[in-house]
Amino acid sequence: MMRKGLVAIIIFMTVCGAATAQSTETPTPPPRWDKEILDRFATLPVQDQGRVKPLDTFAQFTLLRLNGQRRFSDEDRTRLSSLEWLLNVLFYPEVAMHYRNFLVQSSEAVVAIGIPAHAERRDRYSYHELLPGRAMLATLAQRYAEIPAAQRSRVEQQILHLATNVHQFEELLYFFEFARRRFTVPGDSELATAFPEAEGVPLSEALRRAPAVLGSVRDRIEAMDDAALEAERAAMAGLLNELERAVAGSDGLALFPPEDPDDMTWRSPADLAASVFDVSRQRSEPLDLLAGLERLHALRDDRAAFTAAFNAFHDAVTARAAARGEYKKIPLEVAYYRGNYMFYSQWLYVLSFILIAVSWVMPGRRWLHYLNPAAVAAPTALLIIGITLRCIIRGRPPVTTLYETILFCTAVAAVTALIIEAMSRRRIAVAVGAFLGALGMFIANRYEAKEAVDTMPSLVAVLDTNFWLATHVTTIIIGYGACFFASALAHVCIFGRLLKVREQDPDFYPHLARLVYGVVCFGLFFSIVGTVLGGIWANESWGRFWGWDPKENGALMIVLWGLALVHLRLGGHIRAMGICVGAVVLGMITGFAWWGVNLLGVGLHSYGFTSGILNILLAFYAMETAVAALGILIGARDNARDAAPAHDCAER
C-alpha cells in the first residue's frame, strides 16, 4: 500500500502544477479574513480519511504535517491560523506558493533535488523554491519507493516524506483549477451544438449538459455516417480531455455530500466529473454545490459578495450533511480543538508540580499543603473533559487509538494520585501525580505533532466494536496507568533511600512501600480483568480466545509479574525495597507491552506501530535497569547491617 501510494504521488507530481509560472517577485498578500467568515469556514464539513470532520480540523492537521506547527509563520512576519493558511492556499495560490510551508529536517534532502540549501540545516522551504527541483524529487521518490522502509537512509526517507507533502500541498494549491476554466466544444458535432457559448461554460454547467447530449448521441449512433461519427468521437474526446485536465488537481477536498443516503462517500469536484459520465450509476450528483463553489472562487476579491455566496454554500452543504446525520457533532469538534484542553492541561500539571515543590521548601505555609491537591485536580479535570468530548464527538469509548491510550493512562495515574493523597496526606502521591501528568501530556502532544495525523480517525473494522473496546481496552489501560504510577512511587522510595531523605521518620518508607504494593495490586486486578476480556474480544473478532500474539503475550507478562510480586510479598520473600524494585520492573514490562511490541510489526495487534521510538524505548529500559539495580544494592546494604529502626526501610 505504501509503495502504491508513493507511485500515485509521483505520477500526480509529473502531470500537475506545471501551469503555475514562476515569478521573481512575491505577490501582494491577500486581505485578512474576517472572524465571521473564519468561524463559518471552521464548521464547514469535509470528508477526509474516512470520516466527516470540520474544515478547521482538516486545516490544522494538514499544516501540522507540512510545517510541524498548527499556526503558520513566515520570515516576513506573516502570522496565520491554520484555517487562514488553508483559505489562502485555496483562493490565492499565487501567494501561497511563496509560503515557507515545508519543514525539511536536513538540508541534504533539498540539495539532493538540486535546490540551494538555506543556512540552517533544519529549515522551512516554499513551494516556489522547490518547484525547480520537482522533476528530480519525482525521480528520486520513485526510486526510493522501491526500497523497503527498513533499508532506507535518513535522507531517502526525508525525500519521500517531502514528496508526500508536496503532493498534498499541490492538491490544495490547484484545487480551484476547475473554476478558472471554461469549456467549449469546437466543430460541427451535435455535442458542439450543446455548447454554443463562445466564452465557454463552467464545469458545473458542462457536467449538467454533457450526459444528456452524450446519451442522445449514443441513441443515434447507428444512424450516423462515418464522418458524423468521427466528428462526435473527436468532440467527445476533446471535452473529456479538457475536463480531465481541469479536475486533475481538485481531488483534495471532498466537500459534497452524496444525495443517496446509503452512499457514504462524499464527492470532490474530480469525483463529480468522473461520476456523471458513469452510466452504471443511476443517481444524481450535487452539481448545484459545485456551482456554488465556482461562485466562491469568482468572488474571492469581493469580500461582501464572497461572504454572502459562502453563507449560501455553507447552509446548503450543512443542510445535506445534517439530513444524513453527519453534521451534528461538527461544531462540538471545532469547540474541542479551540479549547486546547491538552495543551493547557500539560502546563497546569507543570505549574502544579512547581507549587508542590515550593510547599516542600516552605513547610510552614499550611495553605500551600491544602492547595496541592486542587492544583493537580485542575489539569486532571481539563484532561477528563477533553477525553469526554472526544468520546461524544466520535461516539466511541475513551480508548481506541494509541494517542488516546496516552491520554487515558495519564488521567488514570492522576486520579489514582488524588485518591491516594486523600488517604495518606503526605504530598508524595500528589507530587508523583503532577509529574506523571506533565510527562504523559508532553508525550501525548509530542506524539500528535510527530505523527501529524487526525487523532480521531475512522477505525479498522476489528476495532469498531464498541462493547469490547469499552471493556477490554479501557480496563487494560487502567491497569497500565496503575502500574506506571506504582513504578513512579517506587522511584521515590529508591531515590529517597539513596539520598537519605526523611530517614528520621521511621514510618515514612514503610508507608511508601505499602502504597506501592497497594497500587501494584490495583493494577494487577485491572490487568487480569482486561486480559480475560481481551480473550473474549479476540474470540468474538478472530475466532480464538488466545493466540500467543505479541500484544497478548505482553499483557500476560504484566499479569504473571504482578502475581509473582504478590506471592513473594505474601510469602515474606521480599519486603519494602523488594516490592519497590519489583514495581520498577513492572513499569518496564508495561512499557514493553504498551509500546515495545508495536515495533515488532507482527501479529493481529500490529496496528499501533510508531516509527522512531526504538531509541527512546532503549533509553527507558537502560535507565530503569539502572534504577532497579540501585534498589537491589540498597536492599542488600540494608540486609547486611543491623540498622536502627529510623534507618531501616524494611517493614516491621
Residue 379, in any domain of the structure: yes
490 lies in the same domain as 608: yes
Render pLDDT for 186-234 as a digit per residue (tens, 0 to 9): 777 777 777 777 788 898 888 888 777 777 767 667 666 777 777 777 8
Among 146, 174, 202, the domain-final residue is 174
Among 323, 355, 381, the domain-final residue is 323
398 lies in the same domain as 512: no
254 lies in the same domain as 386: no
598 lies in the same domain as 480: yes
Residue 566, in any domain of the structure: yes
Render pLDDT for 7-26 as a digit per residue (tens, 0 to 9): 444 444 444 444 444 455 66
Q: Which residues contact 636 (CB under 8 A, 6 or more apart)?
A: none
The DSSP 8-state label assigned to residue 469 in this structure reads I
Q: Are 52 and 46 in contact (CB under 8 A)?
A: yes
DSSP-derived pairing of the beta strands 45-48 and 51-54: antiparallel
Residue 403, CB-side half-sphere exposure with 13 Å CA sphere: 18
Q: What is the distance between the alpha carbons of residues 168 and 160, in angstroms, rounded to a whole number?
A: 13
Q: What is the distance between the alpha carbons of residues 291 and 298, in angstroms, rounded to a whole number?
A: 11
Q: Report phi then psi at 307, rounded to 5.
A: -60, -45
Q: Enter the C-alpha cell of residue 22.
A: 514562476
11 lies in the same domain as 103: yes
Our CA angle for 443, 329, 90, nearest 5°, is 80
The pLDDT, as a whole number, for residue 492 is 94
133 lies in the same domain as 221: no
- Number of domains forming the structure of the chain: 4
The pLDDT, as a whole number, for residue 254 is 94
Give me the mean pLDDT over the 320-334 stretch: 95
Q: Which residues contact 546 (CB under 8 A, 6 or more apart)?
A: 535, 538, 552
319 lies in the same domain as 427: no
Return mean pLDDT, the chain: 85
Residue 529 CB burial class (10 angstroms; 0-12, 13-18, ≥19): middle
The pLDDT, as a whole number, for residue 135 is 92
Distance (Å) of CA 384 to CA 209, 332, 398, 415:
54, 16, 10, 10
**Per-residue pLDDT band at 462 (split at 50, 70, 90):** low
250 lies in the same domain as 370: no
Q: Which residues contact 635 (CB under 8 A, 6 or more apart)?
A: 575, 577, 578, 581, 649
The DSSP 8-state label assigned to residue 249 in this structure reads T
Q: What is the distance between the alpha carbons of residues 195 and 171, in angstroms, rounded to a whole number?
A: 29
The DSSP 8-state label assigned to residue 25 in this structure reads S
Distance (Å) of CA 164 to CA 150, 157, 448, 571:
18, 11, 18, 59
Residue 26, in any domain of the structure: no
Residue 47, in any domain of the structure: no
Residue 621, in any domain of the structure: yes
What angle do the packed helices 287-298 and 303-323 form, to 10 degrees? 160
61 lies in the same domain as 155: yes
Give me the mean pLDDT over the 473-498 stretch: 94
Residue 46, in any domain of the structure: no
Residue-by-residue DSSP string for 407-442: HHHHHHHHHHHHHHHHHH-SSHHHHHHHHHHHHHHH
The pLDDT, as a whole number, for residue 600 is 62
Give me the mean pLDDT over the 515-519 stretch: 95
Render pLDDT for 592-624 as a digit per residue (tens, 0 to 9): 988 888 766 555 555 555 556 778 888 999 999
> Comparing 70-84, 288-302, 310-324, which segment has the lowest mean pLDDT?
70-84
Q: Which helix (H) or strand (E) holds 52?
A: strand 51-54
The DSSP 8-state label assigned to residue 471 in this structure reads I
Q: Are 56 and 82 in contact (CB under 8 A)?
A: yes
Residue-by-residue DSSP string for 542-584: HS-S----HHHHHHHHHHHHHHHHHHHHHTTS--HHHHHHHHH
Q: What is the distance between the alpha carbons of residues 231 and 472, in angstroms, rounded to a whole number?
A: 66
Residue 377 CB burial class (10 angstroms; 0-12, 13-18, ≥19): buried
Render pLDDT for 125-167 as a digit per residue (tens, 0 to 9): 999 999 999 999 999 999 999 988 778 888 999 999 999 999 9
Q: What is the distance between the alpha carbons of residues 411 and 478, in angstroms, rounded to a whole number?
A: 9
607 lies in the same domain as 546: yes
Q: What is the distance between the alpha carbons of residues 480 and 387, in angstroms, rounded to a whole number?
A: 17
**Domain span including residue 192:** 180-323
The pLDDT, as a whole number, for residue 650 is 45
Residue 544, in any domain of the structure: yes
- Which among 514, 515, 482 has a CA at the least distance from the CA of 590? 482
Q: Enter the C-alpha cell of residue 263.
A: 452512499
Among 429, 458, 487, the domain-final residue is 458
481 lies in the same domain as 422: no
Q: Residue 338: how many CB atoms within 10 A of its CB?
A: 11
Q: Report phi then psi at 54, rounded to 5.
A: -70, 150
The DSSP 8-state label assigned to residue 32 in this structure reads P
Residue 335, in any domain of the structure: no
**Per-residue pLDDT band at 407 (split at 50, 70, 90):** very high
519 lies in the same domain as 500: yes
Q: Which residues contact 594 (CB under 8 A, 6 or more apart)?
A: 405, 409, 480, 554
The DSSP 8-state label assigned to residue 103 in this structure reads E
The pLDDT, as a whole number, for residue 6 is 43
Burial letters 440-472, b for 16+ CB under 10 A, else e = bbbbbbeebeebbebbbbebeeebeeeebbbbb
The pLDDT, as a whole number, for residue 446 is 92
> Comparing 397-406, 577-586, 611-620, 630-639, which segment has the lowest mean pLDDT?
611-620
